[in-house]
Amino acid sequence: MPRSNHSVLVNAFRPAQEVDDPKFFAGRARQVADLTDALHLIGSTPLIYGARGLGKTSLAFQMMRIAQGAVELLSAQGIQDRAFNETGRYLVFFVTCTDGTRDFDGLVQELINAAEEADFPEVESNSSAKHLAERTTTRKISLRFFEAERSRKFIPEETRPSYRNLSPTEKLQHLIYLIIETYRRPVLFIIDEIDRLQNTQGLASFIKATSTESVKFALVGISSSIGNLLADHQSIARSLVPVQVPIMEEYELRQIINNAQRYLYDQDQQITFGLPATSDIVEYAAGFPWLVHVLGQSSLLRAVGAGRNEVKSSDVLDTVFELPKNRFAQQFSDAYSNVVRGSAQREIVLRALASSFADDIPTSKIYQVLKTKLGVKNPSSYKAQLSSPQFGSVVYTPVGRHRGDVRFSDPIFKIYIRLRPSIYKDVDRRVRSAFQS
């Protein structure tokens, strides 16, 4: 069924566009090579980490494809010799943590649920796998099937582990064993958004104990350092292969817009982005692909709504001005309103801190401008509020840095603050003027 015109427009900047295009990862050549090597290395645990909105999940999907035997991205980067052969390809389970997962026990249950849904028709040419898989009505592996297989091998009833008596980690380990025995393939679990876990205690130890030549785990999460992602990371430190995802170069951000234009063309939509509009989006995005998606999609809808087939700079500027109402950035609008909460002084301090382009913001210099040019008598008290959970802990003091330095917990929120207009009249203009001078 053909897509409607609106459906085509809203899908032009979907993240899957990048996942499907090896060119998008041209600037990620080192990360792709490191992850591929980590997949080959016995006992290693790949860890993809970095700030929000940099394409970590897209990179994880590429890692999944490489593990399953895909060669397109490796060939595009000239490292096709690292591709996996038929017998070395992984059976991959991709699990995404949610706010409801909470802790290690919750994650183990999610992994069990994913493993029990195992269904790999592409490997049924293996006669052993086909014979075992067909012993269930759905061809899916389950722990009950595990017990049946153990029984089939004539293990005495009194020595056979019961499904109900196993701990969650034992259930998962036995299930992994059955999958490997059934399909004669190594298994890879990719765990995305592990930063959502409120407590990761026990995860690193489990990975270390379970990882073998045939079992591998890969982790993906938002963090500025690997220590922030794993509570007991020392138990796995030697096997971790950390791959940090940096902010994107301008040509990579432009490639996102090029992908969107190509998608529109393929769907018979003759809509283009003018060069000035493209440059504006790239500049405003400041290295974050998520912002290209938001600004590009909203600017596209605005241009088409005005009856034009070219996105102009004015569309981008109007989109930036309307950011507080943008449904694609609603979470940041809510966070901004929560921080300001009826205080013009707190909004001034928030925007003053966001005006710094440094990762580590020197508060002493910011305070000086706040006191002398913006009339904030006690800026440190407002900074303390911004660091408190009551106001979302939007800034924090990095470990090992100068005590007077702070960082934004979410770098995209920092850029959002700079882009959007202020709630209180003229606060944005006054802060911008004070720091420009």
Q: How many helices (H) and strands (E) does the chain have?
A: 20, 10
Angle at which helices 168-183 and 203-210 pack, to 10 degrees? 30
Q: Residue 414's pLDDT band (boundaries 50, 70, 90)? A: very high
Mind listing the pLDDT tens digit for each residue in 349-392?
999 999 998 888 999 999 999 999 999 999 999 999 999 999 99
Work out the mean pLDDT of the chain and round it to a whole number: 84
- Residue 358 near residue 404, CB atoms below 8 Å: no
Mind listing the pLDDT tens digit for each residue in 280-309?
999 999 999 989 999 999 999 999 999 999
Q: Would you call 362 helix, strand, or coil by DSSP?
A: strand
| The pLDDT of residue 313 | 97
| Residue 129, pLDDT above cutoff 70 | no
E-only strand ranges, 156-285: 187-192, 215-222, 240-244, 272-273
| The pLDDT of residue 118 | 67
For range 176-192, the mean pLDDT: 91
| The pLDDT of residue 403 | 72
Higher-pLDDT residue of 437, 107: 107
Higher-pLDDT residue of 135, 77: 77
| The pLDDT of residue 18 | 61
- Residue 350 near residue 417, CB atoms below 8 Å: yes
Mean pLDDT is lowest, of 261-275, 299-313, 400-414, for 400-414
| The pLDDT of residue 297 | 93
Mind listing the pLDDT tens digit for each residue in 133-166?
333 333 455 545 444 444 444 344 444 455 567 7
SS3 annotation, 68-134: CCCCHHHHHCCCHHHCCCCCCCCEEEEEECCCCCCEHHHHHHHHHHHHHCCCCHHHCCCHHHHHHHC
For range 67-81, the mean pLDDT: 91
Percent of the chain with pLDDT over 70: 83
